[in-house]
Amino acid sequence: MMNKAVELKQGQNQLFSDPDADKAREFFRNKSRAMVNKVTTVDDAVKRLVKDGDYIAIGGFGANRIPTAVLHEICRQGKKNLAFAGHTATHDMQILVGGECIDRLDIAYVIGLEARGLSPNARRAVESGKIKLTEWTNATLSWRLKAAAMGLSYLPARNIMGTDTFRYSAAKEILCPFTGQKFAAFPALYPDFAAIHVHECDVYGNAHVFGSTVSDQDLAKASKRVVITTERIISNDEIRRQPTTTFIPFWCVDAVVEVPYGSYPGNMPYEYFSDEEHIRQWLKIERDPEEFRKFFKNQILDTKNFYEYLELNGGIARMLKLRAIEHLTHNR
Amino acid sequence: MADYNAMELMICVAARNLENGATVVVGTGAPCAAAMLSQKTHSPNLTIMFEAGGVAPILPSMPISVGDSRTFHKAVLASSMPDIMETCQRGMVDYTFLGGAQIDMYGNINSTMIGTNHAKPKVRFPGSGGANDLASLCWRTMVMTPQDSKRFTDKIDFITSPGYLSGGNSRYEAGLPKGTGPYRIITNMAIMGFDDTSKRMKVLNINPGYNRTDIQDNCGFELLWADRITETEPPHEDELRILREEVDPHRYIIGR
CA separation for the pair A290, A287 (Å, rounded): 9
Nearest neighbour of A129 by CB, restricted to B85, B120, B165: B120
Q: Is the previous residue joined to A265 through a cis bond, with omega within 30 degrees of 0?
A: yes
CA separation for the pair B222, B201 (Å, rounded): 9
Question: How confident is the prediction along chain A (332 residues), in pLDDT tens digits per residue?
Answer: 455 677 899 999 999 999 999 999 999 999 999 999 999 999 999 999 999 999 999 999 999 999 999 999 999 999 999 999 999 999 999 999 999 999 999 999 999 999 999 999 999 999 999 999 999 999 999 999 999 999 999 999 999 999 999 999 999 999 999 999 999 999 999 999 999 999 999 999 999 999 999 999 999 999 999 999 999 999 999 999 999 999 999 999 999 999 999 999 999 999 999 999 999 999 999 999 999 999 999 999 999 999 999 999 999 999 999 999 999 886 54
- The answer on pLDDT for B256 being more than 80 is no
Q: How confident is the model at residue B1 (pLDDT cuts 50, 70, 90)?
A: low
Cβ-defined contact of A165 to B161 (cutoff 8 Å): yes
Q: Is B216 on the interface with A (CB under 8 A)?
A: no
Q: What is the pLDDT of residue A4?
A: 62
Task: Using an 8 Å CB-CB cutoff, list chain A residues near B250.
Answer: none
CA separation for the pair B171, B18 (Å, rounded): 24
Phi–psi pair at B216, nearest 5 degrees: -70, -40
- The answer on pLDDT for B56 being more than 60 is yes
| Collapsed DSSP state (helix, strand, coil) of residue A44 | helix
Which one-letter DSSP state was computed for residue A243?
G
Domain locations in chain A as residue ranges? 21-326
Beta strands in A68-205 (DSSP E): 82-86, 102-107, 132-135, 154-157, 172-175, 182-187, 193-201
Q: What is the pLDDT of residue A331?
A: 55
Residues listed for chain B? 256
Q: How confident is the model at residue B242 (pLDDT cuts 50, 70, 90)?
A: very high
Instruction: Sort A289 into a burial class: Cβ within 10 Å, 0-12 / 13-18 / 19+.
Output: exposed
Min Cα distance A220 → chain B (Å) is 14
Instruction: Sort A47 into a burial class: Cβ within 10 Å, 0-12 / 13-18 / 19+.
Output: middle
Is residue A176 within 8 Å of A140, Cβ to Cβ? no
Task: Using an 8 Å CB-CB cutoff, list chain A residues near B181.
Answer: none
Q: Find the catalytic residue in B51, B86, B237, B245.
A: B51
Which one-letter DSSP state was computed for residue A316?
H
Longest dimension (CA), chain A: 68
Tell me what the mean pLDDT of segment B224-253 comes to: 96
Residue A157's nearest CA partner among A135, A177, A172 is A172
CA dihedral A112, B132, B216, B8 (to 10 degrees): -60
Q: What is the pLDDT of residue A159?
A: 98
| A59: Cα within 13 Å, side-chain hemisphere | 32
Q: Is B118 on the interface with A (CB under 8 A)?
A: yes
pTM score, two decimals? 0.97
Min Cα distance B48 → chain A (Å) is 14
ipTM computed for the complex: 0.97
Cβ-defined contact of A270 to B69 (cutoff 8 Å): yes
Q: Which of residues 224-283 of A touch B (CB under 8 A)?
A: 267, 269-270, 273-274, 276
Min Cα distance A262 → chain B (Å) is 16
Q: pLDDT by residue (tens digit) across B179-190?
A: 999 999 999 999
Among B28, B65, B117, B178, most A C-beta atoms within 10 A, so best to mutate, is B65
The listed CATH number (1.50.10.100, 3.20.10.10, 3.40.1080.10, 3.20.20.390) that belongs to domain B6-247: 3.40.1080.10
Q: Is B82 on the interface with A (CB under 8 A)?
A: yes
Handedness of CA B201, B203, B208, B214 (dihedral sign): positive
Min Cα distance A158 → chain B (Å) is 6
Task: Using an 8 Å CB-CB cutoff, list chain A residues near B165.
Answer: 162-163
On whether the A21-326 domain is CATH 3.40.1080.10, my answer is: yes
| Collapsed DSSP state (helix, strand, coil) of residue A320 | helix
Rounded to whole angstroms, what are the CA distances from A263 to A55, A70, A234, A250, A322?
A: 22, 10, 18, 21, 12
Q: What is the pLDDT of residue A3?
A: 53
Q: Which of residues 310-329 of A touch B (CB under 8 A)?
A: 326, 328
With pLDDT > 90 as the criterion, what percentage of chain B qualifies?
A: 97
Q: Is A112 on the interface with B (CB under 8 A)?
A: yes
Among B81, B106, B169, most A C-beta atoms within 10 A, so best to mutate, is B81
Q: What is the pLDDT of residue B11?
A: 98
Q: Is B145 on the interface with A (CB under 8 A)?
A: no
Q: Which of residues 174-203 of A touch B (CB under 8 A)?
A: 181-184
Nearest neighbour of A214 by CB, restricted to B53, B126, B177: B53
Min Cα distance B192 → chain A (Å) is 22
Task: Using an 8 Å CB-CB cutoff, list chain A residues near B176.
Answer: 158-159, 161-162
Question: How many other CB atoms are there within 10 angstroms of residue A241's CB atom?
Answer: 10
Residue B55's nearest CA partner among B70, B43, B69, B72 is B72
**For chain B, how big is the Rg over CA atoms in Å?**
18
**B19 among known catalytic residues:** no
